[in-house]
Amino acid sequence: MELSRRTVIAGAAAAGITAATTGGTAHAKGGGPTKSLFGKLADGTKVHRWSLANGGTRMQVLSYGGIVQSLEIPDRRGRYANVSLGFDTIEEYVASSPYFGALIGRYGNRIDKGRFTLDGTTYQLSVNDGENSLHGGAQGFDKRIWDIEPFTHGTDVGLRLHYTSADGEMGYPGTLRTQVTYTLTRHGDWRIDYEATTDKPTVVNLTNHVYFNLAGESSGTVYDHELSIDASRYTPVDAGLIPTGELARVAGTPFDFRRAKTVGRDIRVAHQQLLYGQGLDHNWVLDKGITTRPGHAATLRDPSSGRTMRIATTEPGLQFYSGNFLDGTLVGTGGTVYRQGDGLCLETQHFPDSPNKPGFPSTVLRPGQTYRTTTVHSFSA
């Protein structure tokens, strides 16, 4: 049975569950977001952690990388769990994070050989993944300090995050002024609005890299989660995980998530594409295409807890990464080791390597234009 969000919250209140009882962390108990010191970077720069809550969803966000350090939602009996993989300290985020919870920019996923040509000029980007550029290069938006401004607006509670990327940073042309808004609605939805402007023609593709485990981080793999993706095609890749340019049909392949199936069902099928990614690590071409309002992209459900997340987006693509490169070398917030498949990412985006693929929707942003995309995560149990 699917309980409405209101029933879950009422249930949690009746069970005497308060923010203070979970995980020993400080949370906003209604009212506006609150801020505390999380740690310091090696050069002494302070990193703050913002706590906010609304509609039964609780979240903690770092000024470093705009990282979602925790995301707590109730199960069908009102019991909360942190469903986002992360670390307890800033030192671990700086030293070894595989983009846990982070904002990704200027370009989500890979650009072939870190190179592209725009208006006749070839740009060489920071290369940080073999010969390719991944997630904006060596010092992407995930490693920057964001200015954060809290707000409450009507029934919404949220944070506005700002970062200005200098002309030439990581090799990208143009000064990119970026604003990302995290909103928790009264229904407990987490909405992300991305905006950017530039003073020179450039490319941009922003996303967020939360690793979800709806049974709770540190509870084991997500292979029994049920996932559906509204996509009839995906973008196959080469050995370096660069799209070939083809939009291949998912029908009859392990990539067919048009009807919900478990994440683990086909993950061991001997398919060349799964060998390249050591599992699922591909961009799905959403049937709805680019939309002005967020349209449904995917639904993820953990049958054991009932926790369900629906993702709607204005973006045309969804990178589904099944946590393949988590290799048992990191200890997460729950105090356990993260291993392969312990979390998965559903990154709404334009397609990887679009600057080199004329057939893909364009990621070019020009002076005078405003880049605007929205993604909404809705939770129920």
Contact between 351 and ligand BGC per CB under 6 A: no
Sites for ligand BGC among residues 241-300 (CB under 6 A): 241, 281
From residue 223 to residue 242, what is the string marking binding to ligand BGC with x (rule CB under 6 A)?
A: ------------------x-
Residue nearest to ligand BGC (CB): 98
User: Is the distance from CB of 348 to CB of 374 less than 8 angstroms?
Assistant: no
Q: Which of 169, 217, 347, 377 is catalytic?
A: 347
Which residue type is seen at 123? Y
Sorted by sequence, the CB contacts under 8 Å of residue 358 that are 6+ apart come out as none
Contact between 325 and ligand BGC per CB under 6 A: yes
Stretch of 62-70, 84-92, 318-326, 327-335 lying at the interface with ligand BGC (CB under 6 A): 318-326
Stretch of 2-10, 227-235, 293-301, 319-327 lying at the interface with ligand BGC (CB under 6 A): 319-327
Cα end-to-end span (Å), the chain: 8
In the list 28, 52, 62, 345, the residue contacting ligand BGC (rule: CB under 6 A) is 345
Contact between 169 and ligand BGC per CB under 6 A: no
Please give the Cα distance from 192 to 326 (Å, whole number).
Answer: 26
Q: Which of 209, 225, 296, 350 is catalytic?
A: 209
Sites for ligand BGC among residues 106-135 (CB under 6 A): 109
Contact between 99 and ligand BGC per CB under 6 A: yes
Q: How far is the CB of 366 from ligand BGC (least distance, A)?
A: 26
Contact between 320 and ligand BGC per CB under 6 A: no
User: Is the distance from CB of 359 to CB of 349 less than 8 angstroms?
Assistant: no
From residue 187 to residue 226, what is the string marking binding to ligand BGC with x (rule CB under 6 A)?
A: ----------------------------------------
Please give the Cα distance from 338 to 234 (Å, whole number).
Answer: 28
Q: How far is the CB of 107 from ligand BGC (least distance, A)?
A: 11
Q: How far is the CB of 241 from ligand BGC (least distance, A)?
A: 5
Q: What angle do CA 20, 26, 32 make, to 5 degrees?
A: 105
347 is catalytic: yes
The set of catalytic residues is: 209, 347
| Positions that interact with ligand BGC (CB under 6 A) | 98-99, 109, 241, 281, 319, 321, 325, 345, 347
